[in-house]
């Protein structure tokens, strides 16, 4: 480990590339290797100040702001690239599908968190920043659950991040997932509009349930392949997200009576154990396609991620199903 020492108070001026960031995110990028819990502590204690004033970790920084940073002593890996190398050894992958001056499209494998926290030292964004210390700006555009594989976008400029967030809010991003559900699915296409409410359990876990007074949530499911004669019947579906609520696909499927294979929060736990014995060791939820306009040029972009080997292998083990094309 290379020990980093900052034995004096420093003051950093916010430039255009850093403007608009939250204070905690700015500190995480500036003080690489410092645990987030420590960053929050020095902010809340007033050791970090913006323009001479105490502020909260969620405060947005503006160009020209001056951030006071107290003495810091921490450690950082001697070889930042080892973060991504370690991921590869563990069977995790962060494949670059596309990159230009504004954004990066990654193919994330299951088991990789998109950001650190909750006992996870380094997520996708921390690994990417460590592997590219020269990059002035790298921020997640959206999130995928740790066990969800597939297409993930990272912005390389503040302007790109702002434009992409605006496109997300306006419903201008086409987001398609592949899911395996239990049940005899009959519809070629089914539009589901069920409001969802987010809540926290007594154990502190974040959960979601269908509730009339909740937030609007809409998913369109399209039948890809079905195995109606299996016990239980199964269906491979494409899920198009029109809104981006937490756990939306999982909650919608369970509410409809078609639990998602391997879902450890909302699914059928006894069935999940049987699936694990049959070879499916994780949730069958894959971000297969993302299409949108380029945030700067307006060019049409589409990124695709094929089913990873574990999910593709499980589908193959089911045998020949009835595909949508075969139905005519």
Per-residue pLDDT tens for 150-169?
999 999 999 999 999 999 99
Mean pLDDT of 203-208: 84
Known catalytic residue: 145? Answer: yes
Which residues have C-beta within 8 Å of that of residue 98, sequence separation ≥ 6? 104, 105, 301, 303
Per-residue pLDDT tens for 244-259?
898 999 999 999 999 9
Whether residue 239 contacts residue 245, with contact meaning beta carbons closer than 8 Å, is answered with no
Q: How far apart are the C-alpha atoms of 221 and 236, rounded to whole Å? A: 10
Per-residue pLDDT tens for 20-36?
888 988 887 777 667 77
Q: Residue 328 falls within a domain, yes or no?
A: no
Whether residue 94 contacts residue 124, with contact meaning beta carbons closer than 8 Å, is answered with yes
Q: How far apart are the C-alpha atoms of 139 and 153, rounded to whole Å? A: 9
Mean pLDDT score of the chain: 85
Query: Sign of the C-alpha dihedral, residues 74, 75, 80, 84?
Result: negative
- φ/ψ region of 151 (left if φ > 0, alpha if ψ in -120 to 50, else beta) reads beta
Same domain, 147 and 263: no
Out of 100, 145, 268, 310, which one is annotated catalytic? 145
Same domain, 302 and 177: yes
pLDDT at 90: 40
- DSSP string computed for 249-311: HHHHHHHHT-PBTT-TTTS-HHHHHHHHHHT--S--EEEEEEEEE-TTT--EEEEE-PPPHHH
Same domain, 295 and 179: yes
Same domain, 34 and 69: yes
Is the pLDDT assigned to residue 58 strictly greater than 70? Answer: yes
Same domain, 101 and 194: no
Whether residue 245 contacts residue 196, with contact meaning beta carbons closer than 8 Å, is answered with yes
Rg over CA atoms, the chain: 22
Q: Residue 270 falls within a domain, yes or no?
A: yes
pLDDT at 93: 59
The last residue of a domain, from among 76, 92, 116: 76
- What total of structural domains would you count in the chain? 3
What separation, in Å, do the N-terminal and C-terminal C-alpha atoms of the chain show? 61
For residue 33, the domain's CATH number is 3.10.290.10
Per-residue pLDDT tens for 63-122?
889 998 887 654 433 333 333 434 443 445 578 999 999 999 999 999 888 877 555 557
Which range is least confidently modeled, 3-7, 12-16, 78-82, 137-141? 78-82
Q: Which two tokens stand for residue 193?
A: 């509009």
Q: Could you give the 3-state DSSP secondary structure of residue 134?
A: coil
Tell me how crowded residue 152 is: count the other CB atoms within 10 A of its CB: 26
Q: How far apart are the C-alpha atoms of 234 and 193, rounded to whole Å? A: 22
Which structural domain, as residue segments, surrounds residue 30? 2-76
Mean pLDDT of 293-303: 92
Could you give the count of Cα atoms lying within 13 Å of 240 in the half-sphere of its Cβ? Answer: 14
Same domain, 154 and 37: no
pLDDT at 76: 39
Same domain, 178 and 304: yes
pLDDT at 325: 54
0.75 exceeded by pTM: no
């Amino acid at each position: 480990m290379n020990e980093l020492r900052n034995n004096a108070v420093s003051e950093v001026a916010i430039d255009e590339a850093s403007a608009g960031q939250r204070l905690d995110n700015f500190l995480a990028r500036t003080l690489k290797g410092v645990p987030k819990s420590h960053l929050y502590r020095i902010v809340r204690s007033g050791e970090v100040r913006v323009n001479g004033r105490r502020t909260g970790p969620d405060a947005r920084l503006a160009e020209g702001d001056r951030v006071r940073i107290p003495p810091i002593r921490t450690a950082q890996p001697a070889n930042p690239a080892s973060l991504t190398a370690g991921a590869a050894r563990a069977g995790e992958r962060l494949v670059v599908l596309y990159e230009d001056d504004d954004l990066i499209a990654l193919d994330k494998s299951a088991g990789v968190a998109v950001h650190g926290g909750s006992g996870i030292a380094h997520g996708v964004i921390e690994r990417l920043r460590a592997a590219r210390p020269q990059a002035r700006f790298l921020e997640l555009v959206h999130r995928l659950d740790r066990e969800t594989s597939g297409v993930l976008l990272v912005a390389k400029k503040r302007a790109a991040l702002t434009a992409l967030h605006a496109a997300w809010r306006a419903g201008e991003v086409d987001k398609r997932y592949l899911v395996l559900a239990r049940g005899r699915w009959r519809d070629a296409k089914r539009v589901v509009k069920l409001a969802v409410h987010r809540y926290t359990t007594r154990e502190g876990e974040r959960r979601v349930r269908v509730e009339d007074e909740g937030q609007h949530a809409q998913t369109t499911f399209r039948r890809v392949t079905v195995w109606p004669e299996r016990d239980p019947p199964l269906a491979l579906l494409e899920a198009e997200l029109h809104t981006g609520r937490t756990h939306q696909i999982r909650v919608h499927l369970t509410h409809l009576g078609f639990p998602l294979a391997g879902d450890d929060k909302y699914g059928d736990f006894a069935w999940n154990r049987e699936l694990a014995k049959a070879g499916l060791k994780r949730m069958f939820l894959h971000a297969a396609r993302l299409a949108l306009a380029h945030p700067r040029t307006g060019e049409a972009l589409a990124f695709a991620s094929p089913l990873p080997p574990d999910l593709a292998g499980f589908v193959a083990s089911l045998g020949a199903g009835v595909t949508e094309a075969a139905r005519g």
